[in-house]
Structure 1
Amino acid sequence: MIDFQIDQLYAWISGLLWPLFRIAGLVALAPILGESSVPARVKIGLSVVLTIVVSPLIGPVPAIAPASYAGLLIAAQQVLIGMTLGLCMRLIFTATMMAGEFVGLPMGLAFASFFDPATGANTAVLSRLINLVAMLMFLAVNGHLLMIDGLMRTFDLFPIGAPLHPEGWSALLDWSAQIWISGMLLALPIIIVLLTINLSLGILNRTAQQLSVFAVGFPISLTTGLIMLAIVIPQSSDFLTRLFEDGYQAMARIARSLAGL
């Protein structure tokens, strides 16, 4: 006769439930995986499959009833960890969209926007274009697999139920500065050229006032910007690859800070 106890049931449920919360938190906010265009069933199924794969490798977990106050606290903690790491990588793609905003303004395309279901707001066309290029590059270098691997390594840094240290949130805030820095660096070559064009048009307006700069300035800026985009975007692969590597290092740094290491 098989002897079955309630503590064994709690251990089996906890062995799958606590890792599932951490993985699901990452999938909810991670780039590519967490896009609104991805069905919720796909996200849940991916989280469950990853949990089944990783659960035998994470070691013992606290045998706590999931419906207890301690169990709810652990669940919230695991979701917060996963969402923090997913947000870390999401900031990279926010930086690429910021680069599109920087470029669109001097090109005269700041008004060219449409509703983006991924962000839930109006997004500039150039921001969406650069973001799509970054997503394709992210998939090409297997960034989604490296991101998941970084999450799995966090189970060794701080096991389930271990206390979180506040230094991790400071590390996340420090990394968030890359939204402006990386966005500006990505858009800087185009901005320099467009500012030079605008400065030249301003000088031309002072020297030849009979020439309508407003009539010729917009086509010149738009054409120059499109030419520069055709030149810069194919050359941005090295910059994006380094940015992704910085994101992986930021994930590891945030994880170590949360573990107090």
Structure 2
Amino acid sequence: MFTVSQAQIELWLALFWWPFCRFFGLLIADPIFSNKVVPVRLRIGLAIALAVLVAPVLTPPPGIEVVSPAGILIAVNQLLIGVMLGFAVRLMFNAVDMAGQVIGLQMGLGFASFFDPHSAANVPIVAQFINMMMLLIFLALNGHLIVLRILIESFAVLPLDARPLGAGGFRLLVEQGGAIFRLGLMLAMPVVGALLITNLAIGIMTRAAPQLNVFAIGFPLLLAIGVAAMYVSLPYMVVHVESMLSALTRTAAQLFGALRPG
């Protein structure tokens, strides 16, 4: 007769439960799967599938009961690791979103906004368009697979441990938030530069001919120049996304190294 002991059940549960927490933490913070359109049951099912696939190749879990103070601390640590990686990926999309908002403001389309279910707020239509382009390029470059690979490799750097995570990782992630402004301005710079030259030209025209109606001429001209500049600069967005993915890999390596318990 086949019998299963309580120790075997706890071992099997620990084998899949703690990796599930790390994957689920990524899915609730990842900019793709954290969208409110994605059901929670789908995230849980995907996290379970990933845990079942990855758990057999991981190092054996420590001999700690899942329902114990140490086991709960391990689960919290795994959840935090996944959430922090998902937040690092979200910084990339926030930089692109900021670029779209700057471009829309300079084009005079700051008032043309729609509700974005991704951020649960009203976002300019230019920002939504660029954000969607970023998402398509991210998927085309297998960015989602790169993020999963980074998280799976993190089990070698950050094994299952009940000790608190290193504070340096949280500080590093906060410092990376400043990259939103730098990357956003870099992405928006071609369009902003073209619109700045257009504004200077309009100013010179109105100075030379005061009878010109700046509102009747300026807004259509800025809109046309802005759309043309976006059309020319969008193909180069692939290069920026590739560089951001490379930077994400380096940031994740630094993050996991700083999160090691002291």
TM-score (ref. length: structure 1): 0.95
Matching of residues 224-243 of structure 1 within 5 Å: 224-243=225-244
Which moves more between the two structures, 160-169 or 189-198? 160-169
State yes or no: 1:52 paired with 2:47.
no
Give how far 1:2 is off: 4.8
Q: Distance in 1 between matches of 2:96 and 2:162?
A: 35
Matching of residues 179-218 of structure 1 within 5 Å: 179-218=180-219
Q: Distance in 2 between matches of 1:151 and 1:32?
A: 16
Q: Distance in 1 between matches of 2:30 and 2:13?
A: 25
Q: Deviations over 1:19-67 (max 9, x none)?
A: 1000100011113233222222221111111100111111121233333
Q: Distance in 2 between matches of 1:63 and 1:125?
A: 53
Which moves more between the two structures, 63-72 or 228-237? 63-72
Report the counterpart of residue 158 of structure 2 in structure 1.
158
Contact 1:10 1:63 in 2 (8 A): no
For 2:223, the aligned partner's letter is L
Secondary structure in 2 matching 1:114: strand
Report the counterpart of residue 122 of structure 2 in structure 1.
122
Question: Structure 1: which 5+ residue stretches go unaligned?
Answer: none
Contact 1:167 1:260 in 2 (8 A): no
Q: Deviations over 1:53-95 (max 9, x none)?
A: 1111111212333332222222111111100001101110010
Matching of residues 15-26 of structure 1 within 5 Å: 15-26=15-26
Contact 1:30 1:87 in 2 (8 A): yes
Give how far 1:162 is off: 5.1
Q: Distance in 2 between matches of 1:43 and 1:139?
A: 18
Which moves more between the two structures, 207-216 or 29-38? 29-38
Contact 2:113 2:125 in 1 (8 A): yes
Q: Distance in 1 between matches of 2:248 and 2:261?
A: 20
Q: Identity of paired residues, percent? A: 38
Report the counterpart of residue 73 of structure 1 in structure 2.
73
Secondary structure in 2 matching 1:236: helix
Q: Deviations over 1:179-216 (max 9, x none)?
A: 11100000001001101111221222222111111111
Secondary structure in 2 matching 1:209: coil
Report the counterpart of residue 147 of structure 1 in structure 2.
147
Q: Distance in 2 between matches of 1:196 and 1:162?
A: 58
Report the counterpart of residue 32 of structure 2 in structure 1.
32
Question: Structure 2: which 5+ residue stretches go unaligned?
Answer: none
Secondary structure in 2 matching 1:59: coil
Q: Distance in 2 between matches of 1:64 and 1:6?
A: 13
Give how far 1:139 is off: 0.8
Secondary structure in 2 matching 1:37: coil
Q: How many residue pairs were aligned?
A: 261
Give how far 1:3 is off: 5.6
